[in-house]
Structure 1
């Protein structure tokens, strides 16, 4: 039997809301796609004797859930059968399936989706600190706001008005699991797709929930860094889908591989924020 060509890596980079379909020839040393923003996971194929091992690499400093599906026809032979779903620990890799291309095809058609967070998250009722270094903040858009807070990810988000460059504070202690930087300023011609192009920080809390801080002009923390309530983590801005400088803040959980925002309470200024009980 002729040994299948050895791949260095066949990479597919995906975001929480983007499923990237691959139809690669298995002799290719790398993927043809460019890195999208907010990379969460990588699909990695390793060649063996007539089969390929499909691995999911977690690129975040927090847990994720992934699902591998067949995309297009004819489907690959897979063990276990597709779809294959798994949880992947921070920075770890999980073997999803053993695959064999259809006879005479030499191609695999795959789709990998990934979602930050663990479905085992059990959010506690916690009073969150006002995440801005301001004595008070005006809410420009509240829960279920008609402009952009109608979807599940943002229904329970707050848009807090703040001059660009206002220090952003950690509303709750946790570990920085994901950051996105280098995104452009908002423009009048943008669409809702630009929401994915905002600079943001995602912080994993002890109960598995995640705090999202978006539209930043600067990020001052790194993935894997521990932060305490009130620590400075960045600067407010006007990147992504935005009509003016503000901070978009939400608390999210992973439910069935979908990010869901949940209601939360703000404690007010730093001096009024009670410590979190464990």
Structure 2
């Protein structure tokens, strides 16, 4: 028996793990190609190169009857959620399968051997096959609970601005994903109870281009109806629970960061449902505040708005759209901007003063010449005259406070794209 094997179409993130990532989105697939030569006689077990989900949780192997030439394929799932395995053959010489091909089987996380399929030789003599295995998370036969209400991923009473919503122009086209502007180290809480099925937290690298795509830290949590929540761009060593832990809705699960493909610190949240051999993002309903002591259901999100974390059973809190934005880190503030095809000056006012931002809605970097006229306002720092800004980005320029509270105050600006 001659056995050869090789991996196809894989990205390796180190530690033997095989991951293929799309931007922000957790996607995991392994492809294993096994070439088997001529068959001999007898019964023996033939272990395959393990198709490795995170932490080597899936084992695939064969049992071969040397007398009859029959080959049985098995899989064992030592993980914490179901996995789907699809078996196909690019070559099946002198064999017949015990049913239709390709064969797709859902393997539960029960640490037991599950038969995938059997092939038998049509006639005695030399026979060979080339088997291709694809592995994906989840059970596509499960259906999401349409009445499920999710929490927003913040502590009770805290609010954060949405920088990109469902089908956002920058990176969410065709995806039901949410990006919240969260300074590095912001506590992130579980939107729903579930089990931790994958973690990455070893990266400290992030940036605004595709070279950082596989550098993003994340935690992936599996829910009882088969859906999964992906929390991405977490800081290094920023995941609190461990693999296999159960977490409850509202429980602390990590800290936001700026890792992976990201133009600035933020949290990417996406609810995924397993389709046939792929994970698909789905729209969901979230719990938000209305009046103190009451709650509302959020089904539509607007970019630029602030959204509060609301945890049932916790005391009511004051809603105030003029709650001061965190001053810490404003000088390094950077957020994703929608593709509007224009440059804009954004003014935000809170209890600490007036804050001025520059937003680039073009898909290429711009150099902007600025001329500000401040009336009865004192800037907190030097007012810039020329600013270079990255594509689809919003940055902080400066803040200003009122000099004389008895007089009117205002700010005018003229700007030109160089």
Please tell me the TM-score bracket, short chain as reference: 0.7 to 0.9
1:205 — aligned with what?
223
Gaps of 5+ in 1: none
Gaps of 5+ in 2: 8-16, 20-26, 38-44, 289-307, 314-418
Q: Distance in 1 between matches of 2:94 and 2:158?
A: 58
Structure 1 or 2, whichever has the larger Rg, is 2
Give yes or no for the alignment of 1:20 onto 2:31. Answer: yes
Match of 1:165, SS state, is coil
- Alignment match of 2:198 (pick from 153, 161, 178): 178
How many angstroms does 1:233 deviate by?
A: 0.9
2:312 — aligned with what?
274
How many angstroms does 1:131 deviate by?
A: 0.8
2:374 — aligned with what?
none
CA offsets, 1:171-207, max 9 Å, x none? Answer: 111222332332452245535xx54553222222233
Match of 2:80, SS state, is coil
How many angstroms does 1:231 deviate by?
A: 0.8
Give yes or no for the alignment of 1:238 onto 2:247. Answer: no
Aligned length: 262
CA offsets, 1:76-132, max 9 Å, x none? Answer: 543234211112112444210123589646553323232324421232333322213
How many angstroms does 1:37 deviate by?
A: 6.0
Q: Is this contact kept in 2: 1:216–1:234, CA < 8 A?
A: yes
Q: Distance in 2 between matches of 1:24 and 1:66?
A: 18
Match of 2:196, SS state, is strand
Q: Distance in 1 between matches of 2:214 and 2:139?
A: 18
- Alignment match of 1:89 (pick from 90, 105, 108): 108
Between Structure 1 and Structure 2, the one with more strand by share is: 2
Q: Is this contact kept in 2: 1:64–1:117, CA < 8 A?
A: yes
Q: Distance in 2 between matches of 1:64 and 1:165?
A: 32
Q: Distance in 2 between matches of 1:235 and 1:117?
A: 29
CA RMSD of aligned residues (A): 3.5
Q: TM-score, normalised by structure 2?
A: 0.54
Match of 2:114, SS state, is strand
The change in CA–CA distance for 1:75 and 1:124 in structure 2 (over 3 A counts) is farther
Q: Is this contact kept in 1: 2:32–2:133, CA < 8 A?
A: yes
Q: TM-score, normalised by structure 1?
A: 0.77
CA offsets, 1:33-59, max 9 Å, x none? Answer: 8x5768774433344423432223334
The change in CA–CA distance for 1:67 and 1:196 in structure 2 (over 3 A counts) is farther
The change in CA–CA distance for 1:181 and 1:54 in structure 2 (over 3 A counts) is farther
Match of 1:45, SS state, is strand
